[in-house]
Each structure stands twice: as structure tokens, then as C-alpha cells.
Structure 1
């Protein structure tokens, strides 16, 4: 029954996926380029560009066009980074921006875009009315009659309201489907109108055609420079800033190419490409019109006849006059089709309580939003002239562009791990220039209007934050603010650590020698750690769920802002010398690439410390107390040296060896100095501490995990070296191993250490290193190779850590010596990642699994070569890598509930909740301990063989895994795979046998076990 229910749910999911796949059928030209071009080539081109040319002159008009185009190019770079940084669904620009930049910024920018878009609709309506008025006036003038164009008072306003009502009613009755059908027709009309006016102007210059103009209207070089005069219709004297406000709405159709993002085959490629070429094409057309009409028609004609593009058109002016009106109608329909969807999406997200009345009642409902939008468009037409509307349109769009550039600049500079745009030409400095550029243009046009708008924007953001806190909607998108605050705090703490971590040049001990200079010989001791511990109580009885609930420090700290905050446990010998130093290399690389906090702690065995620190003084005292070197080795007290040594040894063991012991403090200081020196050599920012224990190593580690850090800057990942003190010996039969008696106790304590860390809700990273692992300053001849052996899903840490490592400079290779190419290489390539997806059941379909994993990597913007490994399908590898609570263990009623919920949503037409953390969730069940076949539903349709070959001790599975890794990853610099799961009844010898067998003969292995909080989201 369980299988049937799972198959049914999978069928429903497949049905939704097929429908989504069918909707994604638009290419770059039809989905992005043409819609953007249609929005840009609007009313300003036909009715205002020639008039602006007559006032500002050809030179300054060209400059204004280039300034406006530059702002769109800079914003295009930021938008391209956003759209290539996550999964794109319905909702257009608002969805993409809000999910990437967070709810506060995203909704505020979304409202700015909505207001600018609706005001653009008013601009198009007034443009259509004005085109009709100019046409009627031109015909009356041709017949010798004077006509102002006004039939009755307020005729422009009444006509505009009637047009808006008619357009809204047509969309309400017919739906928005015909808008898409007619969009290509309207674009064709626009293209023909542009062609006719170009031909007419060229023929007018040649003297072959005059249209409705006269010969005296032909004049060359009258419009080269500015000649400002009052507008013959409004009486207003323009200036360069008013001309900029009037011309800028002509380039604000940039975001129209993002409206159909959910219908594109490849939105990450189509949107940047389509928007760029739309900008280039439209800019070329605007410049050609400026120079062609400005160089051939008299200044007076361009000022009086604002519709001169139709007056000179060839073969007749009527197609252009009608075409411009139809173009404006098409743009109004486009606005009424997209703007209500945007405001409905904002209302559906429930972030603004005062917009709750616009919330869709069912899937696709936009009725209230449609009439609300039409009301705003109608109210904005009441001034009666597009000259009065265009400055407000310009300011809102410029502020919206400024906000996008500012947020993207901050994201690019802070570089949270979730911000991984694949757009190769993005850099945060370009976004910064775009922010300054757009904000400067807004203040130049109207400093008062811009100031009021910015103030409204800030107040809106504060209102959104407060309303969301009061509403407690439960939606967590992650905010850019939390990432910025994290970066500020972590940078400040790292700077404080640098200023406070001056390594002393000399450290002395209470030994016979005067003191030692810190040198390489002190640090070069390796693998001499003896960590004896006793069995004691701990935190192993706390369930992971309880601890995870208690340690969810910040409810608004989203998974996409997760960073590796690593607590590295460094091994030291009895004298405090750090060993296994490659662990620090790994920690340094993760900290530098992940921009997190690094905390390093060394724990010294306290009993060994006391003996090591005092043995010199004891020996000196015993030897100095003899009366003669020729006696029978007895002192004045009559005790022999051997008897006195036994007494002193017992006294040392019984004496205090804690922090009140001066020699212990000196040894801790020396060990910390050595540790800080090694961190400096690795280029590591972070904090170092040295602690002591009386033999209970696991309790010292637990205490460090609990008490290290500050609030949200507490460690979330614990890095330890795979212990080298676990010595195995083979029996005569050959392949089986058993632990030494002393190592068995150490293994039990070490296993308790790891289990306690996992119960505390932290991720665990065990690292087995060799001298081949690259350190700070090493150069790999070619870029390094990191192999990921993905067996079970741990939430995302197994993918995220190798991705961060791959971006570190150590792994990029020597390069080709060209600085520019090396910078590009460092940004776009990184180390080579190879992912080996392991099938754990013969029923899993390798082809489906490879396709699903490849698509998942594409969604999370991680480039890796995917290979499916089927050789482990008949072993019990999954039993050792996953939790006891697998999918098969979940009660059937949970599956039934989730399946029923999905079915009801499908029948009602409701959309599924857009939760990025659930991007790898199946029927609402956590996938933290599911195999890849269960996560990606890669089982074959027909039942495959179910009899597995199991082994009692797991050696067969570990041996097979080791064989496959040594064969496929023999040239890899690092192998990353899952850390085997630790069960309550797990025998330490059996567990470390498995580890020893799996890692045998592999130089550098990183074993990862996530806590489930490290989720790679589909967007940043």
C-alpha cells in the first residue's frame, strides 16, 4: 500500500512537472527580446523625441539618450545576476527580486515597479489621445481651419477614462490570453510605422517626398545645438533636466522581458541576452531618429508639429497615425495584463495587510487587482498631458533601478554562499556605479520628488518589517539585511581578532632551558597525541529534534544565508604542540571561501600536562639534593633516589594541575602562541583558544561546542581530524581487523564525542589528510579536482562545502600568467567538481537519477560532472549511511495525508507553497537521511530485484566503496562523502572498522554529516 501511495503521489508530481514543462516553450526572441522592444518603442519615440531634439539639440539629445541607456545597461547587469541566481517561477520581476533580495527590499521595489508600470499605462493612454488630437488638428490646418484639438472641456480626461474602462472590460471579459496573441500584431504595426517614417524622412531629404510638410520645412543643421523656447501648447520653458525626465520613460521597458520568465525554456540565458539586444536595438533606433529628423527638418516645424514622424511618413501618413494609436492601445493592454499580476502576487504573499482585499480568491484570480490597477491608471490621466506624467514615471523607475543595483551590489560585495549568479560579467562595482548613476539622475530631475519617494520607500520597508512581525505569516525568504548584518559583525570580530592576536616572539617554560624561539621544529611534531578519557555521562540522551528546536537562534535567519561557522578541534601532543596541521589548512580555505567565522581550539590532556610541566624541576631537585656523587645514591634524609622519585611522582599526580597551577598556564600560553602562528601561516582569520581536560576529552569538546561563539555567530560545523591513534591489527585470516585494547576505549570516547556534537544540532566534518593536501601558498599545476561521493542526502552540506572549497585560490591552479584571464578564471571556473551519485538499490534507474541530479545542480548553480555509480546497488551501504528513520519507516498515514493534500490542491487549482528549503522534499517529508533514489524518485516503474547481499559487519560495503573511490577518484585532490550514521547501539569497533576500510589508501578524505539546516536553496 505504501508503494502504491508513493507511486500515486509521484504521478501527480509528474503531471505538474509536465504541465510546467509545456508552459516553458518560449525562446529568447519571442519571450524576451520582442516584449522588451515593444515596451521601449512607444509613445515617446513618435510624439516627443523630435520635439526634444528641437529644444535640446542633436548633441545634447544624443547625450541624454546615452545617459539613459547607460543606466539601463548598468541595471541590466544587476538584473542578469539576479535572474541567473535562482529558480524562476511565475510572478515576473517581483518574484525574482523578492525571493533573491528578501521580503523587505523585494516588496518595496516591487511596489515602486508597480507604480512606475501603472503610470506608464497612463502615459500610453494619454499618448493615444494626443496622437488623435494631433491628427485632427493637422487635417483641419490642411483644410485652412484652425482647431485646438479640444472638442469640449476636459475631453482628454474623459476620453482617457473611457479608454481605460474599455481596455479593462475587454481583459476582464476575454481574459489576458488574447493580449499575448495580439502582442506580435501590435509589434508588427510598430515596426511598420517606424519603417514608414524612416522612408519618409529619407525621401524628404532627397526631395522625392514631402508628405504633409512643405519645402520650407526642409532645413539642415538647425537643430545641432540647444534652442530652448516655450512649448507652443503648454507654455512651459523646458531645460535639460525636463528633457531628461521626458525622454527617460522611453528606456523603461527593460523589465517587460522578465514578465514571461516562467514560460521561457532557458530563462537564465534568454533574459540577459534578450534584454541586452533589446536595449541595443532600441537605442540605435532612437539615435537614428534623432539624427535623421534633427538634421533634415527645420527647428520650428519640430517644435510645432509634435507628430512630425507621421507628417513625413511614406507612402502615406495615415498608417503611421493609426499605427501609433494601436501601438499605445497594445501597450495599455500589456500594462493591464502584467501590473495586476504583480500587485496580486504582493497581496498573495500577505506581507502588506492593507492590500489583503487584492488577494486572489483562487488560482489565477486577478479581478480585484485588475480594476484596482485600472483605477490608478485612470486617476493618473487626470492631468491631461503626458508631459506632466513622465517626470513621475522617470523618478519611480530610477528609484527602482537604484534599489536593484544597490541590493545586488551589497550581495556581490558581502558574497553570502547563497548568492551564486552564473552571469559571468557581473561584478559588485558595476552595480555600485549603476546605483550612483540612477540615483544621481533622479535627484537631477527633481530633488524634492526623489527625496519624498526615498522617504516613502524607507517607511514602506519599515512598515513591511513591522507588519510581517505582527502578522507572523511564517514565510521565510531570507533577507539581504541579515546577510549584511552578519558580514558587518563577522568582519568586525575578525578585525578585532587580528588586532588582539599578536604572536609573541618568545615563549618560556618552567624547564631547565632559558626559553625557545618559535620555529618550525617546534610545530613539526606530528601524530603524537595521547587522549585518554574515562566513560562518563553526557548529552547523548538529548534528541536531535529537541536540540535543533532549542538552537534555532534566529527565526529570520534563512537557509540561504547559512555560512560555515567552523569550530576546528586541533590535535596537540602532551607538550601542547599542534599536530595534524592540514586540518587548519582545510578550515582556513573554508573560512576564506565561505566568508564565515573560524574558531580554533586545542584541548590538552591535563594530567599529562602537569607531569610534562613539572618533571624538569623535580629531576633538578632530586639531583641537586645529593650530598655526594660517590655515595650509595641516598640523600641526607636517608632515602634512595628511586624511593624519593616514587614519592615525588605520587606528589605530582596528587597535586593540583588545573588553572591555578602556574606551569599549566605557561604551557597553555605557549600552545596558543604556536596555534596562532600556524593560523597566521595559513592566512586564517579567527579566534584561537587552548583548554585542558583531566582525561574526559569528549566532555571538553562538548563544552567548547556549547560555549564557543556569540549568539548567531556560534559554530554550526565542527571540524575534527580523523584520529590516527586508532590502530588496527589484522589477524591471520587476512582481511578482518580488530582494535587494540587501548584504542577500543579511545574509539568509544571518540564516538561519544561525535554523537554528542550531532545531538547538539551541529554538523560534523571528519578530515583525513596527507602531505599532498594543498596548504596556503601552494600552487596546483592545474586546477584541483574535488570528488563528491553522494550516497544519502544530508540537507546540502555535502554539496556546499566542496563548492566553497572550489572557489578558493589554492584550488585554481597556476593559471596562464595573464592577470585578466586569471581573474576571470578565478571567478568562473574554480576547482573541478565531479559528483558520483551512488545508487543503493537495484531498482533505481541510473538514467533518471543522473538527469535528476544534473537538473538539481543546475537549479542550485553548482557546476559539476555527474556520474552514476551502480556497483554499490547490491550492498548494504545505505544501512550504514542513513538514519534508522528512513522513508519506509514513516507511518503510512503521513504519506496518505501529504498525498491527499497535494490532490486537493490540484483539484482546487491552488499553487503549491513556494518554499525554497523544501526544494528537495518529497511529499513534505524531510529528505535529510534519504538516499538519492528516494529523494529524486528514480525507481523504475517495474519492480526490480529486491534481494540484497548483506554483510553483518559492513566490511563488504566499505570495501566496495573503497574500491570504487580508489578507481574513479585516483587523480582527485580531495574526496568528499557522507559520514556513516552513528546509532545508539553502534559498536565503536564496528564503526571504525567501516571507516578504516572505506578510507584505506585514499590520501585526503572529508567525511560530512550535516545537521539538516544547511540547505542549498534554489535561489539566493
Structure 2
């Protein structure tokens, strides 16, 4: 009888550890939540902050965690989840740069959690057996080796060990909770209700940072995403189950211990009091429980941290991490990343293992808290971006979610980080931001189909509608340039000037028209489009490009002018290269008249090459009236806003025929420049010679020259072309401008 094949459902995987919600997510999460804080620091927080403020800390912590768990549930049920846990969810939603930075932060926080919990275990051990205090560091290192061996055996063995640990932990919690209930005193409860901070070092937010690692355990379960049989089902069920269970246990502990221990006992000997008050004198169960809790938390982090860094390495975001992408066995266990985690753990223990271990413990708690807060914030941002973007692909199986909840949670995480310690929060944000910048500078080729596209699309759509409803004012004029490039290899100067003028403050689109039949030219069209995009990439600029195939050039130009987006993104300026070919005079003029009929500004560039040192260059503008003059001055000003032209000199010329008019003309130009708020030199030329002769005698030393023109009638095409070709002959690159009057220099 043949073997029965079972269809693999979305979110399931054929190979790996195939863990379920209970073993793969709930168990590592709850064992990390009910960890060292429950036994070794919760009493201290209750004693310092009082019952009421501790409950407030618990609620605030769990609200952040619950909202984050809901965001995790939404994102994880919307896409097939692979290894990497929170890193995977973030990187696939808001991109590899921020995902990579948060992945490293998450790895560091989980890797530091390992020695954090091991130190908690060792502290509990030496407080139970004081004679072992001299061997503190040795015990911590032996414990590290023991946990490493279990983790090295694989996730299945680690989860089996956690089942045993969870049984011991459950008995321990029953023992000390029952004992606290027996010793509960309402008068003691009343005395402990308010805060009792022992010195200026401790306040609400300083004890919050000590307590918060208690709720970070959900990362241990989420980080096991690569070992789950069905992540889409296991992550929401296991994570939310762990959050609610942890909240109940900690809430009951605060109330019972607050009424069973004095203020002094809570602050200085809460753990010893838990042992002494245990039911049936079973203090050994409490000791076993704290051992189990701290070891299980360390084990959960030991399993989670390597899987995060392995996932980052697999995505090839950071070259130096490529070593850690390789796994072993069918389950792809991250052995190399495990050794890295071991190294960090040993280093931290060697640093914190001697001296004031309590202070070191609190420092580690602060580091873990800060990085987890930022990780939580980014998870919520990821969920917000996925939902708010309105992508049709966002259809999470988890329905109890709204983008507003994710936004509130993200803001809450950031605000909490700054309330805890502003300087540390800024430093952590700076570290993450630096990593984002470094990753972005690498021009990452990695793309995950993340949700940023949909988010930007939805914002663009909304903004376009808003812009379309707003009346256009000359003060808001920006260049929206359409450049008819032809073959960009032969039109380098044309493209470069368009980008210099329009890239920073406007929009530049390169258009190439291929005359012919689209069915015959599809391959050529794709090649031309690739070439245009490569040109933009090589220039290192943000522009757009398109290639159109139409029967002839006239139809292509008409189609390009009409097909571009209406409303606020409609092109307002068209760039052509000058044609000196007499055979093309009629067609060239026809193209100019088409643009004029479409009510767009015309810019024609006569290519004489680019200046060698534009930053020391001279830009000449020949003023002959406000209509074209305003646009010429504006374009020249935009040219100098580019870094290459930043120190160039603008010279504004006006020709008059009578010396008596020099002073009024000079004052008029200076008044014009002051009103226009443009830095330029004004010069008045007195001459009775032709404009052509004056222009050629003065501007031959310029880097580029602006002059206005009027579009000729069709029957004047040949004369127009011949005259301007003659004018251009001895001059540098010329930029001819014909304005429709939409650009007002004085707005």
C-alpha cells in the first residue's frame, strides 16, 4: 500500500523540528517570563514601589507586551514565516535596512539575556548556600557550559528539558504562592500599599527598568519561528497564551507577597522569605523553582539568539555575518551562531562575575530592557505599516487587530524608553540609526516585497488628492521636467542639466521615443528602458524613466505629453536638445509648437559639453523681459542649489541703446534681484550692435548661457533654426527658455 501524502498548508514546513504552539512558542516564552525577576527581583520592586505602583508597572509592561503580541499575531498570520522571529517579521514589513539593524539589536538583547539569567541563577544559588559565594564566577561558567551542551544537542532536546523545568517551576510557584496566602496579613498589605523608595537612586522608572525584562519572554518563543510546524497558528496562540499566563502569575504574586512580607523583607530578603514561608516547609521547592526559572530563561535565550543572527546572515545583509548563516543537520541548527552567543555570554560573566553582582545585574537588565523596547516598537511599526498601507495582500488570519493599536504601542515603547533613561534611549536609538544608515549605504539588493511600497503608495495617493484640491500658486512652483533624451549616450549634457536643475526641488522624467511597431520593438524597448534606468543609477540621482513606441516621433511626443499623470504631478517643463540639421527644421519646430499648445514651458539645450569646474563657473542670463526672464532666473538659481554649482556666479545682463538709461536700468535689475531673493551680479550693456554680436562678445567665457526665445511659426522654422545655429557657434552650452508664465520670480 502506497504512502499517503499530506498536503503542506501555507505556513507549514516539510523539514525541521516541526514544533507546535505549546512546545515551540508557549513553553520557551512562559519559562522566560516566569524567570529570574519572579524570584529574585519582584519582591525588591514591590518593596521599593509599593503594591499599587508595582501593579501599575505590571499593567504598563503587559499592555506594551500584549499590544506587541497582537501585532506579532497579525503580521505572522499574513505571510509565511521563516526563521528569525521578530527580525523576519520586521524586515519583511519595513525593509531590510531597518530589519537588519533591529535584528542585530534583538540578537544583542537576547544574547545578553543569557548571562543575565545565568547570573540570576548563580546569585540564587550562593544566597541559598553562602559557602559557595567564593566560587560565584566558576559556578556561572559551569552553568553556561551545561546550557550550551543542551542547546547544542538541538531544539528538540532543549524543549524536552524545558518540559521538565516547567513542571518543577509550577510546583515551586504553588509552594511559595500558597505559603504567601497562609501568611497574608491585611495590615501588612495596607502598609506596603504605597511606595517606600530607600534612596534617591530608586524611583518609579528606575524600578520599572528592573522589572520590565519579566515581560520580554515572548521573544524567546517568537525567535523559534524557523522550528515551528505551523508558525501562523503557533505564534499567535503560544504568544498570547504566555502573555496572559504571565500577567496572572505576576499579579497574584504582587498581591500575596505584598501582604505576606514586611517592607524590609521585600527589599532585602524576599527570596529567603519565600523559601521560609513555603507550604509544608517546602523551601527546597522554591529553591528548585528559582533554579528552574533562571535556567529555563537562559536556555530560551540561548536557543533564540543564534536563530536571529543566523536569519540575518542568511539574508546577506552584512558581509561579516555570512559565516553564521550555515546550519547543521536536517533542522539547520545554528551551531556557529551558538558559539558566538557562548563567547558573548562568557565575556559578560567574566566582566560581571566578581565584585558588585547586584549592580551588574541591574545594568544588564537596563540594556536588555532598552533593546527589547526598541524591538517591540519596530514590531508594532511593522504591523502599522502593513495595515495602514492598505495593501490588498494584507489579509491576516488574526482578526483582533487594528493599526491604531500598533501605532499606540510603538509610541508607548518609544516614550517608555525615554522616560526610563533619556540618555540611554538616545544612545540606543543612535546605535540603531547608525546601523540603518550603514546598511542603506551598501545599496542593498535584498528585497523582500516588504510593506513599505504599499505604505508609500497609500500616502502618495492621499497627498496627490490633497494637492489636486489645492489651488496652484506661483510661490509653490517646482520644476516637473520631461526630458526627451533620444539616445542618452549622445545626449549626456541634456540629461545632466535637467537633473542638475530639477532633481533636488522637482521631478525629472527621462523619455525616449522609438518610432515603429510595438510588436517589432518590444525587445529594443526593454533594452532602452534598462539603459535609461542605468543612466539614472550611474548619475546617482532620483529620477524616473520611460520608453514609448509609436508609429512616428510626432505621435510619440504628443502621447508622452498627454499620457503623463494629471494634477500636481503633470510636467510643466519640457527639455529638448537643439537640432541644427536643416532637414529636421520643420519637424523640430512642430515639436516645439506641440509643447506650446500643451501649455508647458520649453527649454532647449544646445550641447557644447559640460564645464570642467562648474563650482567656479559663470552663469550668464540675458534679460529681455519678465515672461521668459523669471523662468530663466529661477532655473539658474536651481542650478546653483546643486552642490557642483554651489559657488558659481550668476550674471544678469540687459542691453540698452542709450547711456542715459544706464542708471535706471541698473536700479531696475538690482530691485528685481532683491525682490527675487536671488544672488547675482547685475550688468547693463550699452550698445547699438545686434543682440547676436553683443551676446557673442560677452558670454564666450561663460560656463553656460541662458536666453529667452519665442516659438516660431511653422513657416519660419528654417530661418529660426539657421539664425540660432549661427548665434550658438562661438558660444558655450546655451539654454534657451520659452515660458508660459506660470513661474513668477517675485512670488
Identify the TM-score tier after normalising by the shorter chain.
Answer: 0.5 to 0.7
- Find 1:406's aligned residue among 358, 362, 381: 381
CA drift of 1:301 comes to: 1.7
Partner deviation per Cα, 1:10-68 (whole Å, 9 max, x = no partner): x9999999993476865443443333222211110111112211111111111110111
Partner of 1:998: none
Contact 1:218–1:296 at 8 Å: present in 2 too?
A: no
Q: Is 1:40 matched up with 2:40? A: no
Contact 1:199–1:314 at 8 Å: present in 2 too?
A: yes
SS at match of 2:83: coil
Q: Is 1:129 matched up with 2:108? A: no
Q: Is 1:223 matched up with 2:189? A: no
Residues 411 and 707 from structure 1, CA distance in 2 versus in 1: closer, same or farther, beyond 3 angstroms? farther
CA–CA distance in structure 1, aligned partners of residues 381 and 7 of structure 2: 39
- Find 2:517's aligned residue among 530, 539, 552: 539
Q: Is 1:91 matched up with 2:55? A: no
Question: Where do residues 254-403 of structure 1 align in structure 2 (5 Å cutoff)?
Answer: 254-264=218-228, 266-307=230-271, 308-315=273-280, 316-360=282-326, 364=332, 366-381=334-349, 385-403=360-378
Residues 67 and 704 from structure 1, CA distance in 2 versus in 1: closer, same or farther, beyond 3 angstroms? farther
SS at match of 2:326: coil
CA drift of 1:300 comes to: 1.7
Report which of the two has the higher share of helix. Answer: 2
Partner of 2:494: none
SS at match of 2:433: helix
Residues 152 and 279 from structure 1, CA distance in 2 versus in 1: closer, same or farther, beyond 3 angstroms? closer
Scaled by the length of structure 2, what TM-score is found?
Answer: 0.60
Scaled by the length of structure 1, what TM-score is found?
Answer: 0.45
CA drift of 1:205 comes to: 3.6
Question: Where do residues 171-182 of structure 1 align in structure 2 (5 Å cutoff)?
Answer: 171-172=151-152, 174-182=153-161
Q: Is 1:188 matched up with 2:167? A: yes
CA–CA distance in structure 2, aligned partners of residues 83 and 480 of structure 1: 14
Q: Is 1:201 matched up with 2:180? A: yes
Residues 550 and 288 from structure 1, CA distance in 2 versus in 1: closer, same or farther, beyond 3 angstroms? farther
Partner of 1:113: 106
CA–CA distance in structure 1, aligned partners of residues 466 and 34 of structure 2: 52
Contact 2:150–2:158 at 8 Å: present in 1 too?
A: no
- Find 2:97's aligned residue among 98, 104, 108: 104
Partner deviation per Cα, 1:120-140 (whole Å, 9 max, x = no partner): 21221011011112212xxxx
Q: Is 1:168 matched up with 2:148? A: yes
SS at match of 1:423: coil
CA–CA distance in structure 2, aligned partners of residues 349 and 554 of structure 1: 29
CA–CA distance in structure 2, aligned partners of residues 35 and 153 of structure 1: 29
Q: CA RMSD in A?
A: 3.8
Residues 67 and 13 from structure 1, CA distance in 2 versus in 1: closer, same or farther, beyond 3 angstroms? closer
CA drift of 1:409 comes to: 2.1
Partner of 1:421: 396
SS at match of 1:192: helix
SS at match of 1:98: helix
CA drift of 1:82 comes to: 1.1
- Find 1:476's aligned residue among 428, 447, 457: 447
Contact 1:126–1:384 at 8 Å: present in 2 too?
A: no
Question: Where do residues 628-667 of structure 1 align in structure 2 (5 Å cutoff)?
Answer: none
CA–CA distance in structure 1, aligned partners of residues 395 and 530 of structure 2: 25
Partner deviation per Cα, 1:648-705 (whole Å, 9 max, x = no partner): xxxxxxxxxxxxxxxxxxxxxxxxxxxxxxxxxxxxxxxxxxxxxxxx9999997677
CA drift of 1:491 comes to: 3.7
SS at match of 1:221: helix
SS at match of 1:87: coil
Question: Where do residues 575-974 of structure 1 align in structure 2 (5 Å cutoff)?
Answer: none
CA–CA distance in structure 2, aligned partners of residues 187 and 440 of structure 1: 34
Contact 2:223–2:305 at 8 Å: present in 1 too?
A: no
CA drift of 1:195 comes to: 0.9
Partner deviation per Cα, 1:474-530 (whole Å, 9 max, x = no partner): 43213555544444444443333333599xxxxxxxxxxxxxxxxxxxxxxxxxxxx
Contact 1:108–1:457 at 8 Å: present in 2 too?
A: yes
The number of residue pairs the alignment matches comes to: 499
Deviates more, 1:12-21 or 1:268-277: 12-21
Residues 167 and 554 from structure 1, CA distance in 2 versus in 1: closer, same or farther, beyond 3 angstroms? farther
Q: Structure 2: which 5+ runs fail to align?
A: 350-356, 474-513, 535-549, 570-747
CA–CA distance in structure 1, aligned partners of residues 532 and 194 of structure 2: 60
Contact 1:351–1:468 at 8 Å: present in 2 too?
A: no
Contact 2:28–2:297 at 8 Å: present in 1 too?
A: no
Residues 538 and 443 from structure 1, CA distance in 2 versus in 1: closer, same or farther, beyond 3 angstroms? same
Q: Which structure ranks higher in relative contact order (CA pairs < 8 Å, sequence separation ≥ 6)?
A: 2
CA–CA distance in structure 2, aligned partners of residues 402 and 555 of structure 1: 36
Contact 1:83–1:268 at 8 Å: present in 2 too?
A: yes
Partner of 2:136: 156
Partner deviation per Cα, 1:977-996 (whole Å, 9 max, x = no partner): xxxxxxxxxxxxxxxxxxxx
